[in-house]
Copies of this chain bind each other. A is one copy, B any other.
Amino acid sequence: MRAAAQCLRGVAHRTPRITSRTLDERAGVRAVLKAELLQRTGSFKFRGAYNKIASIPPEQRARGVLTFSSGNHAQAVALAASLLEAPATIVMPADAPELKLAATRGYGAGVVTYDRYSQDREQIGREIAEERGLALVPPFDDPLVIAGQGTAALELVEDSGGLDMLLAPVSGGGLIAGCATAVKALCPDARVIGVEPEAGDDYQRSLEAGRRIAIDVPHTIADALQVTTPGELTFAINRELLEGIITVSDAELVEAMRFAFERLKLVLEPGGAAGLAALLAGKLESRGTAYIGVILSGGNVDWGRFCQLLGTGTPASAE
Least CB distance, A315 to chain B, in whole angstroms: 3
Other-chain contact of A305, B13, B267, B315 (Cβ < 8 Å): B315
Determine the distance from Cα of A267 to Cα of B260 in the docked complex, in whole angstroms.
9
Q: Contact between A265 and B266 (Cβ–Cβ < 8 Å)?
A: yes
A209 at the interface (CB under 8 A from B): no
A265 and B312 within 8 A (CB): no
Chain B CB within 10 Å — which of A19, A37, A314, A318 has the most? A318
Cβ-neighbour of A315 out of B98, B268, B314 (below 8 A): B98
Contacts of A37 in B (CB 8 A): 265
Say yes or no: B299 contacts A304, CB within 8 Å.
no
CB-contact partner of A261 in B21, B303, B318, under 8 A: B303
Quick one: given A317-B99, A317-B302, are A265 and B267 in contact (CB under 8 Å)?
Answer: yes
A94 at the interface (CB under 8 A from B): no
A22 to B106, CA, bound (A): 10
| Chain copies in the assembled complex | 2
Min CB–CB distance A265 → chain B (angstroms):
4
Is the C-beta of A42 less than 8 angstroms from some C-beta in chain B?
A: yes
Interface size of A by Cβ–Cβ distance < 8 Å? 39
B317 engages A102 (CB within 8 Å):
yes
Give the complex CA separation of A35 and B306 in angstroms.
Answer: 22
Closest to A99 in B: B317
Q: Are A315 and B262 in contact (CB under 8 A)?
A: no
A310 CB–B CB distance under 8 Å? yes
A258 at the A/B interface (Cβ < 8 Å)? yes
- A316 on the interface (CB 8 Å rule)? yes
Q: Is A38 an interface residue (CB 8 A)?
A: yes
Pairs A–B under 8 Å by Cβ, sample size 13: A16-B35, A18-B38, A21-B40, A22-B106, A42-B265, A102-B317, A262-B303, A267-B267, A302-B316, A302-B317, A304-B313, A304-B316, A307-B312
List 14 other contacts, CB 8 Å, given A258-B303, A266-B266: A22-B106, A38-B264, A38-B265, A98-B315, A99-B262, A99-B315, A99-B317, A102-B317, A262-B302, A262-B303, A265-B299, A266-B267, A303-B315, A303-B316
